[in-house]
Each structure stands twice: as structure tokens, then as C-alpha cells.
Structure 1
Amino acid sequence: MPRRRPGALRAERSPRSGRSSPPPERIHGLSARTSVAIDRVERLSGDYYVHPGATDRALRRYRAFPQPPGRRPRYPRDAECSCRGCSFEDVRHARDVLAEVLRQLPPRSRARPARQVRALDAGYAERTPPDPFAADRQWRSDLWWRRRPTGGPG
């Protein structure tokens, strides 16, 4: 019996037969490698709010908050519901999720998203006034993005 070529043997095997899920969606502005690392963190995280797709959603919400452009101050609003989906109405929650994901990412994969978040932080800090009484009102007043007044024209 003739020997079978290695290429023919590989062609018969199903590609990536051990993989149980499709590759993750690439997050806008990030490399495929970073998107895969973020997907891994989201899937393995024990945090209720860090789930597959949470980082992309948090980045989109955090990017959209300072819109429309202008000089008028913006005020974060509390989410009406604390479930996984509705909680992203509060931009501060989106920033909390980004902080948690960045904390769990390996250093090499953390660099690019950290730069994006720092740039978004600058826009957020510029458009939101500080709250001098936040330490008394906020449960996480140690986080600078939580030390902003809520309500007002949003």
C-alpha cells in the first residue's frame, strides 16, 4: 500500500478540532492579538460585569460620552437597572469595567488599550466637573472617574 502524503493527512483533519467557540470579534482600534487576549480575560474573569463583549461595549460607551462636541459640561447618570446590559448606561460603570479588564490583561496586551483609555480619560476629565463632596456620596470615591457629580443636563 502506498504511503499517504502529510498534506493529504492534514487536509482530512478538521481545522482546529479542539476549539469549541469561534474566534472573537476584533475590537475596533485594537490588534487581533489584543482582541484575543481581551476575549480570554472576559471568558475567564470571575467578575459578573466582565463577560464576553463587555470591553467592546465599555469602550464604545466611554467614547460616546463626551459627545456632542463643545464646551458644555457633561454629567454621568446612574443606570436605572444594575443588570449586565443596563449597567452600561452609566459611563462610570463602563470605566470600571475597562479598569478591571486592563488590570487582568498581560502587560504586552495591555499597552494599546491602556493608551486608548488614557486618551478617553482626558476627554472625560475635560467635560465633567469635579465633585468636591464625592467622598461623602460615592461608594468608590477612590476612583477619580467616580468623583464627578451626577445628574444635570446629560
Structure 2
Amino acid sequence: MPRRRPGAIRADYPTAPVWGYRPPDRIPGLSADTSLEILRVEKRTGQFVGSALRRYQEFLSPPRRWPLYPVPDDCPCPSCCLDDVRNARDVLEDALAQLPPRARAELRRRVMALDKEYRRRTLPDLWSDQESWWRRRLTVN
């Protein structure tokens, strides 16, 4: 019995995705499954996890030898809240608590590498009374 060509088999399937909408954009450095789980968390919580991860990476991206200082931002609107890299790190921490185990492990590996660089390139604030370690760093006043 002759085999059907792959193109003939693909022609039998619909061209529209099974899930009914365009697949989510992948977050660079993360798998498609993790990106999908992050999208689900974003829809559930209203936080921008992908944007927070990009903001955290952008803050640490220029290779420099001198220290970096987070800029505090007191603007309450959601579009400006990620200007302060510490708020972006808060969003990532909340997302890590809500993701399923595999996606959490993958995102945690990525965030831990960024945390190591953040600790290396920022200075500790010894008199800070903040709860999280990333907020106990010197800022620009």
C-alpha cells in the first residue's frame, strides 16, 4: 500500500490553531510552555510578568564596572510602576508563587541569574527597613 505524502496529510488538518486564537509571544530565554503559563498568570492577576522580566534584564544589561542605583518611582499607575526595577522584581516574585512547578523552576533559574548580577552591581543599604532583600539596596534620591 503506498504511503501518503506529508503535504497531503497536512492538507487534511485545519490551518487555524486548535486553541482558537493566536499563540502567545514567547518570552525570550523561556520555553513556549512557560511563556503560556506566564500568560495565564498575567490574565488572572492583571500583572505584566513578561514586561517585568524584560525591565529587570534591561536594568542589568549594560556591562559596567560602577554600581547601579535603582530609581524609586512613586507613581501609582500600572504603566509607570515598572520604571522602578524593584517593583518589577516584586511582580516576578508574585508570579513565582503562582506558577506551576515546571514553569516556576524555569523562571526561577532565569530570575536567580539576574538576582546574582543585581546583588553584584548594586550596593546594600544597611539602614533600610524593607522586607525584601532587593529593596534593601541603595537608591538614587
Give the TM interval when normalised to the shorter protein: 0.7 to 0.9
Counterpart in 2 of 1:116? 110
Using the TM superposition, give the Cα deviation of residue 103 of structure 1 relative to its aligned residue in structure 2, in angstroms.
Answer: 0.8
Query: Which residue, 55, 66, 70 being the options, matches 1:61?
Result: 55
Alpha-carbon distance in 2 for matches of 1:110, 1:130 = 27
Alpha-carbon distance in 1 for matches of 2:17, 2:69 = 50
Output the amino acid matched with 1:149: L
Using the TM superposition, give the Cα deviation of residue 11 of structure 1 relative to its aligned residue in structure 2, in angstroms.
Answer: 5.9
Using the TM superposition, give the Cα deviation of residue 65 of structure 1 relative to its aligned residue in structure 2, in angstroms.
Answer: 1.2
Alpha-carbon distance in 2 for matches of 1:40, 1:86 = 22
Alpha-carbon distance in 2 for matches of 1:81, 1:125 = 25
Counterpart in 2 of 1:144? 133
Provide the identity percentage.
Answer: 48
Aligned residues: 131
Counterpart in 2 of 1:105? 99
Q: Could you report, residue by residue, the CA deviation over 1:74-108 in whole angstroms, capped at 9, with x for unpaired residues? A: 11111252211111110000100110111100111
Using the TM superposition, give the Cα deviation of residue 134 of structure 1 relative to its aligned residue in structure 2, in angstroms.
Answer: 0.7
Output the amino acid matched with 2:25: E
Runs of 4+ displaced beyond 6 Å = none
Q: Compute the RMSD of aligned alpha carbons.
A: 2.2
Output the amino acid matched with 2:55: R
Give the unaligned 5+ runs of structure 2: 1-8
Alpha-carbon distance in 2 for matches of 1:38, 1:59 = 11
TM-score normalized by the length of structure 1:
0.76
Q: Which moved more, 1:71-80 or 1:91-100?
A: 71-80
Using the TM superposition, give the Cα deviation of residue 149 of structure 1 relative to its aligned residue in structure 2, in angstroms.
Answer: 1.7
Q: Could you report, residue by residue, the CA deviation over 1:20-60 in whole angstroms, capped at 9, with x for unpaired residues? A: x4321111111111111111111112xx5x1xxx1221111
Output the amino acid matched with 1:124: Y
For the pair 1:96 / 2:85, whether they are aligned, the reply is: no
Using the TM superposition, give the Cα deviation of residue 15 of structure 1 relative to its aligned residue in structure 2, in angstroms.
Answer: 5.3
